[in-house]
């Protein structure tokens, strides 16, 4: 929605399918009834672009996110990241490729280990991918990442329970940025937050894109959130993409009845987003 994205695809998905057994019973696992969570999805993402992916709960958005980040493997179809088939990679090559596409989780209250300090949480990817940053530079790198997401490096010794929801999500974003990925898949990253805090996180994603040139898959269950961050929007229903278009196309000329329903039910974030510097409740006392 801000910078003009380049035309080169960094992510190309073709006819992606994910099926899993309907339940955990032995009969289901032996080839009984199956649920199709992702059903023939095609999408592309260009360098520096934000693609908003919207749909109600159960539409397959999170299942798609897990496929794109190689948390799950597809039943069939192709996922090409930076010119390489992610779905064909195994072992070390898959681990190396996953550095380029990282996941920001939905719930900041459960996605951070309460036993770990902020330093350990943000540093963890650097310990897994030791080739990215020398161990001697970890503390400086964590401090840099915390500042990048609007937190003080002094917070590195604290634990997640000492932070507000918005601050916890900033910690999660810092962790996702540790490996310098080109793509972030953001799985409903603001849905667990208050509206005013949602605006702060949306603004942060926009600023990070301008500064780092990141491409986003930005997942939400309503259209109001992605309106302010996306270049294009894909609408997902029952595992399928039913409509894709620019933000103007989707908002002004929605074609599919399901898209029209989503628009009618979406709240408005605009009042919170008009003031770009919305204070984060609870931030000052942590300074």
The yes-or-no verdict on residue 153 having pLDDT over 60 is yes
Look up the CATH number of the domain holding residue 51: 3.40.50.300
Token duo for residue 125: 């990817």
* Nearest-angstrom CA–CA distance, 285 and 270: 28
102 domain-assigned = yes
Model pLDDT, residue 66? 95
In a domain, 261, yes or no: yes
Determine, yes or no, domain membership for 28.
Answer: yes
The pLDDT value given to residue 192: 86
Residue 157 domain-assigned?
no
Q: Is residue 50 part of a domain?
A: yes
pLDDT at 275: 41
Q: Tell me the whole-structure pTM to 2 decimals.
A: 0.86
The pLDDT value recorded for residue 30 is: 53
User: Rounded mean pLDDT of 51-79?
Assistant: 95
Give the model's confidence band at 107: pLDDT under 50 very low, under 70 low, under 90 confident, else very high: confident
Enter the tokens of residue 168. 């916890």
pLDDT higher than 60, residue 157: yes
Q: How far apart are CA 220 and CA 241, in angstroms?
A: 14
Least confident stretch, 68-77, 132-141, 195-204, 231-240: 195-204
Q: Is the dihedral of CA 18, 22, 28, 32 positive or negative?
A: negative
In a domain, 41, yes or no: yes
Q: Which residues, at least 6 apart from 92, have a Cβ–Cβ distance to it below 8 Å?
A: none
First vs last Cα of the chain: how many Å apart? 33
Residue 214 belongs to domain spanning: 9-106+165-286
Both tokens of 246, joined, read 């620019």
10 Å Cβ neighbour count for 262? Answer: 24
Q: Calculate the alpha carbon distances from 83 to 12, 13, 46, 214 in Å.
A: 8, 11, 12, 17
The count of domains in the chain is 1
When mean pLDDT is compared across 3-12, 95-104, 143-152, 180-189, the lowest value belongs to 3-12
Average pLDDT value for the chain: 88
- The predicted pLDDT at position 33 comes to 81
Predicted confidence at residue 264, as pLDDT, reads 86
Half-sphere exposure of residue 92: CA atoms within 13 angstroms, side-chain side? 2
DSSP string, 211-260: HH--EEEEEESSHHHHHTT-SEEEEEETTEEEEEEEHHHHHHS--SHHHH
- pLDDT single digits (tens) 39-64: 999 999 999 999 999 999 999 999 99
Write down the pLDDT at residue 186. 96
Would 140 be classed as within a structural domain? no
Q: In what order do the strands lie in the sheet with 215-220?
A: 101-104, 183-187, 215-220, 50-54, 232-237, 240-246
Is there a domain that residue 219 lies in? yes
Q: Is 277's pLDDT higher than 70?
A: no
Q: What pLDDT, on the 0 to 100 scale, is given for residue 5? A: 56
Tell me the pLDDT band of 18, cut-offs 50, 70 and 90.
very high
Alpha-carbon torsion (155, 111, 44, 270), positive or negative? negative
pLDDT at position 268: 63
In this prediction, residues 5-9 reach a mean pLDDT of 70
Instruction: Indicate if the pLDDT at residue 234 is higher than 70.
Output: yes
pLDDT of residue 287: 31
- Evaluate whether 233 touches 244 at the Cβ level (below 8 Å): yes
d(CA 81, CA 275): 36
């Amino acid at each position: 929605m801000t910078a003009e994205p380049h035309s080169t695809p960094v992510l190309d998905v073709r006819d992606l399918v994910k099926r899993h057994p309907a339940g955990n019973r032995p009969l289901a696992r032996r080839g009984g009834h199956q649920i199709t969570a992702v059903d023939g999805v095609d999408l592309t993402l260009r360098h520096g672009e934000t693609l908003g992916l919207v749909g109600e709960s159960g539409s397959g958005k999170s299942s798609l996110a897990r496929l794109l980040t190689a948390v799950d493997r597809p039943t069939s179809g192709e996922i090409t990241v930076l010119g390489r088939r992610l779905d064909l990679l195994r072992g070390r090559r898959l681990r190396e490729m996953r550095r380029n596409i990282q996941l920001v989780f939905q719930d900041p209250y459960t996605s951070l280990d309460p036993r770990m300090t902020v330093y350990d949480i943000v540093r963890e990817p650097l310990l897994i991918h030791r080739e990215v940053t020398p161990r001697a530079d970890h503390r400086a790198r964590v401090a840099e990442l915390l500042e990048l997401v609007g937190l003080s490096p002094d917070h590195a010794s604290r634990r997640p329970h000492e932070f507000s929801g918005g601050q916890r999500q900033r910690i999660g974003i810092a962790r996702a940025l540790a490996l310098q990925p080109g793509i972030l898949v953001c799985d409903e990253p603001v849905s667990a937050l208050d509206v005013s805090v949602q605006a702060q996180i949306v603004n942060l994603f926009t600023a990070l894109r301008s500064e780092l040139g990141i491409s986003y898959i930005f997942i939400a269950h309503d259209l109001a959130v992605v309106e302010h961050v996306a270049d294009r929007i894909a609408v997902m229903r029952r595992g399928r993409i039913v409509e894709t278009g620019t933000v103007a196309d989707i908002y002004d000329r929605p074609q599919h009845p399901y898209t029209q329903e989503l628009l009618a039910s979406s709240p408005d974030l605009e009042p919170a987003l008009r003031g770009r510097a919305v204070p984060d409740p609870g931030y000052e006392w942590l300074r």
